[in-house]
């Protein structure tokens, strides 16, 4: 149930009216879900029904962003309606390739404007047993898109009987994001190890990708990149890789306001993945009251007592005080 | 950078007669020829400052041999990023200041703290008149004080924000160099260590700042005076496997 009422209900009602009046222009009014529609229900993505007019041609499902409601939203905004905001993950996410595979890292702060909404959220998302993806940008978008591609990869694994490849995840992500023309605000660092070796890619909200030996994304990307550019070299060992990733995330945590709290690390090698949740906790709670925070009676010292009797101030002439 | 126009035209001008302003006059200010980041840090013998020698005209690299660090008096160095003509004007103001100070002939000379204070006043007053000098200035120096030789390093920017720190970076350096400096600076570094740290920062800026060039100048100020070294270049490394063949895992992709 979203802010403006049930969209599906609205659409069906409108379309029923239009259908009756035969005003429907040939073509799917409500494009169906994107290309490889998976049968599993997608969180935060409403399935739109494709319409076939009585007796008219059945057009194939189209993907991409539907601009139908834009005019209505613009009209509402003009009338003074404030759209609900979205939770962004002002973030530092990084990845690097070391000699045996890939190390991914992320901070754990999710912000809603100036407020920290979640002190310890998880930004490293599961895609496949050998592929993980860090997400920056709008939290809902990164979650939904990685979930969706993860399901698609699982179906693909069932169909092919093979381990998923990183380029498969990459292509699925980039074609989805491109078809939404940047409106799905997800900036991702995708990494994994498959039969062809270790791979690390960045994916931008508009759908472009890069293949890199080390990558950073998010608001803290410059701080993290400065650490990488000065210290990265090829052929790092596992310990060096984890250390460098932690250093880069810490640089983001301490030098960027949008990033903070803890460091999550994920190490992917051939045949083994280790998700080190909260690998470093560089922001511990330093003060904790020794007496605890429940204040029982008798804990506060009474210095003096003064009791004042309350006297009635109002003289009621006749009738009830509460009358009228 | 979009600069908001003042609502009415009746603001006193920076240097012209106020009567010339009528309604609708705008103090339009965009920087034209700009220099990029300056980095500076305190070390054992004094202060070291470095920047590249480029000045861009919008997105063109127009000038490649520009000196953005100059000595001020006997005790200070000034480095500037931002509009280069405003920096030249500031140098003229500082010339006047040091000259009139010299003419007092009282054996005292302006130290870095005094010059920094003067520049802060100039920058803040200009911003209040909506006619800013579009620079971020870095002021470093060493002067004998009550506690012996005191090193000083501070910064002023175009809106008058000023502070003193052990390490300073302007422009893109704020995002790319400060994290490195905060992690790796320590008290009383030797000159070689300080140069290494500065070069580390300059290299990252060269890789990741589009308006920087591979021609740098380092300057230092100590009790002996200011030394500005001749420009030189840094070695860059581009030989990563992924750079050479990004589509190795899947032919036809990128």
> ipTM of this model?
0.81
Q: How far is B225 from chain A (nearest CA, A)?
A: 31
* Minimal-distance CA residue of chain B relative to A229: B204
- Residue B156, strand partner residues: B137, B162
Helix B191-208, helix A221-231: angle, nearest 10: 120
Residues B43 and B142 sit within 8 Å (Cβ to Cβ): no
User: By the CB < 8 Å criterion, does A107 face chain B?
Assistant: no
Nearest 5°: phi and psi at A217? -145, 165
* Minimal-distance CA residue of chain B relative to A227: B180
Query: What does the block give as tokens for B224?
Result: 């002996």
User: By the CB < 8 Å criterion, does A282 face chain B?
Assistant: no
For residue B253, which residues of chain A lie inside 8 Å, CB to CB?
167, 170-171, 211
Q: What pLDDT, on a 0 to 100 scale, did the predictor assign at position A60? A: 60
Of B208, B240, B246, the CB nearest to A225: B208
- Interface subset of B 181-200, CB within 8 angstroms of A: 182-183, 200
> CA angle, A219 as apex, B176 and A175 as ends, to 5°?
120
Q: What pLDDT, on a 0 to 100 scale, did the predictor assign at position B16? A: 39
Over residues B159-166, mean pLDDT: 95
Of A166, A196, A255, the CB nearest to B179: A255
Residues A260 and A241 sit within 8 Å (Cβ to Cβ): no
Residues B234 and B214 sit within 8 Å (Cβ to Cβ): yes
Dihedral in degrees, nearest 10, Cα atoms B184, B189, B191, B192: -50
Whether A200 and B248 lie within 8 Å, measured CB to CB: no
Of A194, A226, A234, the CB nearest to B176: A226
Residues A202 and A217 sit within 8 Å (Cβ to Cβ): yes
Helix A221-231, helix A238-255: angle, nearest 10: 140
Residues A96 and A241 sit within 8 Å (Cβ to Cβ): yes
Q: Which one has a higher pLDDT value, B75 or A84?
A: B75
User: By the CB < 8 Å criterion, does A195 face chain B?
Assistant: no
| CA nearest to B48, candidates B160, B169, B145 | B169
Over residues B89-116, mean pLDDT: 94
How confident is residue B5, by pLDDT bands cut at 50, 70 and 90? Answer: very low
Q: How far is B105 from chain A (nearest CA, A)?
A: 47
Q: What is the C-alpha end-to-end distance of chain A, expressed in Å? A: 46
Q: What pLDDT, on a 0 to 100 scale, did the predictor assign at position A250? A: 95
Query: What does the block give as tokens for A239?
Result: 């310990």
DSSP A35-98: SS--SSPPTT-PPPPPP--TTS--PPP--S---TTHHHHHHHHHTTPPPP---B----EEEEE-
For residue B180, which residues of chain A lie inside 8 Å, CB to CB?
226-227, 230, 251
Residues B39 and B165 sit within 8 Å (Cβ to Cβ): no
pLDDT under 50: residue ranges of chain A: 1-4, 22-56
- Interface subset of B 101-130, CB within 8 angstroms of A: none
pLDDT tens digits along B17-40: 333 455 665 565 789 999 999 999
* Helical segments of chain A, H only: 7-20, 70-78, 139-160, 166-179, 221-231, 238-255
Lowest mean pLDDT among A55-64, B69-78, B236-245: A55-64
User: By the CB < 8 Å criterion, does B238 face chain A?
Assistant: no
For residue A213, which residues of chain B lie inside 8 Å, CB to CB?
240-243
Residues B85 and B33 sit within 8 Å (Cβ to Cβ): yes
Return all residues near B192 (Cβ < 8 A) that are at least 6 apart: none
For residue B197, which residues of chain A lie inside 8 Å, CB to CB?
none
Q: How far is A24 from chain B (nearest CA, A)?
A: 41
Whether A229 and B242 lie within 8 Å, measured CB to CB: no
Q: Is A221 helix (H, G, I), strand (E, B) or coil?
A: helix
Q: How far is B174 from chain A (nearest CA, A)?
A: 9
> Does the reported pTM lie above 0.80?
no
The full 3-state SS of chain B, as one line of letters, equals CCCCCCCCCCCCCCCCCHHHCCCCCCCCCCCCEEECCEEEEECCCCEEEEEECCEEECCEEEECCCCCEEEECCCEEEEEEEEHHHHHHHHHHHHHHHHHHHHCCCCCCCCHHHHHHHHHHHHHHHHHCCCCCCEEEEEEEEEEECCEEEEEEEEECCCCCEEECCEEECCCHHHHCHHHHHHHCCCCCCHHHHHHHHHHHHHHHHHHCCCCCCCEEEEEEECCEEEECCCECCCCCCCCHHHHCCCCCCCCCC
For residue B200, which residues of chain A lie inside 8 Å, CB to CB?
230
How confident is residue B149, by pLDDT bands cut at 50, 70 and 90? Answer: confident
Q: What pLDDT, on a 0 to 100 scale, did the predictor assign at position A25? A: 42
Q: Is A187 helix (H, G, I), strand (E, B) or coil?
A: strand
A138: DSSP letter: B
Catalytic residues of A: 91
- Residue A102, strand partner residues: A97, A268
Nearest 5°: phi and psi at A210? -135, 150
Average confidence score pLDDT of chain B:
88
User: By the CB < 8 Å criterion, does A171 face chain B?
Assistant: yes
User: Annotated catalytic, B28?
Assistant: yes
């Amino acid at each position: 149930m979203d802010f403006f009422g049930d969209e599906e209900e609205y659409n069906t009602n409108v379309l029923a009216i239009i259908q009756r009046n035969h005003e429907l222009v040939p073509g799917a009014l409500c494009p169906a879900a994107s290309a490889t529609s998976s049968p599993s229900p997608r969180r935060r993505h409403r399935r739109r029904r494709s319409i076939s007019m009585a007796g008219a041609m059945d057009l194939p499902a189209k993907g991409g962003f539907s601009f139908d409601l834009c005019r209505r939203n613009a009209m509402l905004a003009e009338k003074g309606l404030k759209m609900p905001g979205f939770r962004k993950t002002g973030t530092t996410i990084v990845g690097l390739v070391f000699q045996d595979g890939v190390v991914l890292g992320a901070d754990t702060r999710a912000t809603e404007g100036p407020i920290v909404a979640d002190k310890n959220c998880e930004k490293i998302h599961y895609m496949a047993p050998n592929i993980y993806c860090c997400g920056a940008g709008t939290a809902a978008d990164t979650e939904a898109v990685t979930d969706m591609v993860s399901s698609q990869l699982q179906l693909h694994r069932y169909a092919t009987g093979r381990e998923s490849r990183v380029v498969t995840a990459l292509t699925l992500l980039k074609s989805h994001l491109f078809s939404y023309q940047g409106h799905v605000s997800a900036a991702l660092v995708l990494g994994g190890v498959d039969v062809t070796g270790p791979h690390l890619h960045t994916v931008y909200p508009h759908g472009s990708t890069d293949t890199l030996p080390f990558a950073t994304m998010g608001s803290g990307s410059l701080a993290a990149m400065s650490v990488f550019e000065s210290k990265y070299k090829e052929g790092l060992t596992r310990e060096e890789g984890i250390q460098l990733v932690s250093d880069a995330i810490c640089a983001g945590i301490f030098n960027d306001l949008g990033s903070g709290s803890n460091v999550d690390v994920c190490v992917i090698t051939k045949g083994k993945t280790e998700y080190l949740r909260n690998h470093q906790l560089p922001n511990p709670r330093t003060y904790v009251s020794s007496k605890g925070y429940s204040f029982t009676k008798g804990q506060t010292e009474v210095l003096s007592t003064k009791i004042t009797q309350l006297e009635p101030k109002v003289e009621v002439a006749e009738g009830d005080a509460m009358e009228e | 950078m979009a600069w908001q126009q003042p609502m009415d035209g009746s603001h006193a001008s920076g240097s012209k007669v106020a009567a010339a302003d009528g309604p609708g006059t705008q103090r339009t200010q965009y920087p034209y020829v700009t220099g990029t980041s300056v980095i500076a840090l305190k070390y054992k013998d004094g202060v070291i400052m470095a920047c590249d020698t480029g000045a861009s005209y919008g997105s063109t690299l127009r000038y490649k041999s520009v000196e953005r660090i100059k000595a001020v008096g006997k005790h200070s160095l000034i480095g500037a990023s931002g509009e280069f003509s405003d920096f030249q004007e500031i140098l003229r103001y500082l010339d006047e200041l040091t000259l009139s100070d010299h003419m007092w002939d009282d054996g005292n000379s302006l130290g870095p703290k005094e010059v920094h204070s003067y520049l802060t006043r100039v920058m803040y007053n200009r911003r209040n008149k909506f006619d800013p000098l579009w620079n971020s200035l870095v002021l470093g120096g060493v002067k004998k004080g009550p506690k012996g030789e005191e090193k000083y390093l501070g910064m002023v920017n175009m809106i008058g924000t000023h502070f003193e720190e052990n390490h300073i970076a302007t422009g893109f350096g704020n995002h790319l160099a400060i994290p490195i400096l905060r992690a790796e600076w320590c008290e009383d570094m030797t000159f070689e260590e300080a140069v290494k740290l500065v070069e580390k920062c300059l290299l990252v800026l060269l890789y990741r700042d589009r308006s920087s060039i591979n021609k740098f100048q380092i300057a230092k100020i100590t009790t002996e005076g200011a030394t500005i070294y001749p420009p030189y270049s840094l070695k860059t490394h581009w030989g990563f496997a992924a750079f050479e063949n990004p589509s190795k895992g899947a032919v036809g992709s990128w």
